[in-house]
Structure 1
Amino acid sequence: MNYQGKMSRDRALRKQQQLNNLVAAVKKLAKPGDVIVDFCSGGGHVGIVLAHMMPSCQVVLIENKELSLMRAKDRSDELGLNNISFIQANLDYFNGTFNIGVALHACGVATDMVIEHCTKARAAFVISPCCYGFIQNTVKFKYPRSHQFKEILSYKEHMILCRFADQTAVHLPPERKLIGKQCMGLVDLDRAWAAERCNYSVQVTSMEPESCSPKNNMFVGTPV
């Protein structure tokens, strides 16, 4: 067995473990007839599994890259799924009604965009964030997100926290990864507290096993 082959199998296993975590969380929330939106769906790994495992729900994949969406549609057709639909668009442009929003490794500000879409629709959400170093103020989003963090952290200090939160790669020294993981937890606590102000109950958990991804935080939010 060559090294490259081993790497690709390892990566496939980790992706499967990540999917298992998200799917398990969505299954706990979903009811027959629910509309589930897979934001930033890429090649459809999450959405297709959800549609396959929950035939009584409708699944919508939103992705702005045409090639990724075509790949997802081909996979869906191979499985003969009839409870899945595809929208090629930036997630900013989506304004449909839905019950659960899902995003696996939504980069930087995309996590906050997905949370906002869900809170506006009063939909539950299951989100795993990624690329904390890309978080920055935009026209729509200012950081820190929560009042609690705004009282103690400046924007510049929050940016430093985000950059440290990206220091979780496997090859880094354990003490450096621990600091990265703690910073990741703080950035996501800020996001969770901001969502709670929209009358949501939010849990920040870790995907298991921890080895499935250096970015293994997962939000589960439900309207209250």
Structure 2
Amino acid sequence: MSDARAVRKRQQLNNLVAMVKELAGPNHTIVDFCSGGGHVGIVLAHTLPHCRVILMKTKKILVRGRDRSLQLGLQNISFIQETVALHACGVATDMVLDRCIRAKAGFVISPCCYGFIQNTLKFSFPRSKKFAEALTYKEHMILCRFADQTAVQLPIERRLIGKRCMGLVDLDRSWAAETHGYTVKVMTMEPESCSPKNNMLVGVSA
């Protein structure tokens, strides 16, 4: 990994950890869905020793995370093999959001791969009543495809359109969560350059 990419990954990690630290209290259980190599979950377990941290991911990557946590001597971390998604891309973000809502749990989610969003047996888009009254499914899918147009090599005007579309897709998700009694913020990671997909959904149940 290049030094520049390592800096961006650290910035992304710092944003997520800062938001979780604001929501977490003593003896809370924190679930890191789609946990990858455990970068977020392991830092949270170290930073919040009075919380239990559970990482969920596919078996091969979980082994790597487990090895790292053992090397650090972390006692408040556990691992569950999960095959729902390889990472929170597309509709996987909505699956995580749904699990949190059913558990009445707070959430910090960094969505990605908006272009992979599509109707499933469980979810239909747009998610919120307000968006469904304004956009058809086809129009929402166009919005999602434009939301993926944020790569750094694209012209700035196109990236700004992509960022606005990202905000609209996540606003739809936030309004859907609010109908279940949540207060939700759609936030941007700092600095914005840490990732082309720099939105965060932060929600707290009433």
| Pairing of 1:7-156 with structure 2 (within 5 A) | 8-63=2-57, 65-91=58-84, 106-156=88-138
Shift of residue 91, structure 1, vs aligned partner: 4.4
In structure 1, list runs of 5 or more residues that go unmatched.
Answer: 1-6, 93-104
Q: Quick one: distance in 1 between partners of 2:30 and 2:183? A: 19
- Corresponding residue pairs, total: 205
Q: Quick one: distance in 1 between partners of 2:69 and 2:90? A: 28
Q: Which amino acid in structure 1 is aligned with residue 122 of structure 2?
A: K
Q: Which amino acid in structure 2 is aligned with residue 10 of structure 1?
A: A
Shift of residue 211, structure 1, vs aligned partner: 0.5
Q: Quick one: distance in 2 between partners of 1:199 and 1:32? A: 23
Determine the structure 2 residue equivalent to 1:102. Answer: none
Q: Quick one: distance in 2 between partners of 1:180 and 1:89? A: 31
* Partner SS state of residue 172, structure 1: coil
Shift of residue 212, structure 1, vs aligned partner: 0.2
* Partner SS state of residue 202, structure 2: strand
| Pairing of 1:150-165 with structure 2 (within 5 A) | 150-165=132-147
Shift of residue 67, structure 1, vs aligned partner: 1.3
Aligned: 1:171 with 2:164 = no
Q: Quick one: distance in 2 between partners of 1:90 and 1:198? A: 27
* Partner SS state of residue 134, structure 2: coil
Q: Quick one: distance in 2 between partners of 1:115 and 1:91? A: 13
* Partner SS state of residue 77, structure 1: helix
Of all paired residues, the percent bearing the same amino acid is 70
Match of 1:183 among 165, 168, 175: 165
Task: Say what the alpha-carbon RMSD is for the aligned residues.
Answer: 1.1
Q: Which amino acid in structure 1 is aligned with residue 23 of structure 2?
A: L
TM-score where L is the length of structure 2: 0.97
Contact residue 15 and residue 212 of structure 1 kept, 8 A: yes
Q: Which amino acid in structure 2 is aligned with residue 41 of structure 1?
A: S
User: How big is each residue's C-alpha offset from its partner over 1:85-131, in whole Å with a ceiling of 9 and x where there is no partner?
Assistant: 00002348xxxxxxxxxxxx720001111111001000000000000
In structure 2, list runs of 5 or more residues that go unmatched.
Answer: none
User: How big is each residue's C-alpha offset from its partner over 1:10-30, in whole Å with a ceiling of 9 and x where there is no partner?
Assistant: 111111100100111111111
Q: Quick one: distance in 1 between partners of 2:143 and 2:158? A: 13
Identify the structure with the greater strand proportion.
Answer: 1
TM-score where L is the length of structure 1: 0.90
Q: Quick one: distance in 2 between partners of 1:165 and 1:195? A: 20
Q: Quick one: distance in 1 between partners of 2:117 and 2:192? A: 23
Question: Does the C-alpha gap of structure 1 residues 170 and 126 become closer, same or farther in structure 2, counting only changes over 3 Å?
Answer: same
* Partner SS state of residue 71, structure 1: helix
Determine the structure 2 residue equivalent to 1:96. Answer: none
Shift of residue 66, structure 1, vs aligned partner: 1.5
Match of 1:207 among 174, 189, 202: 189
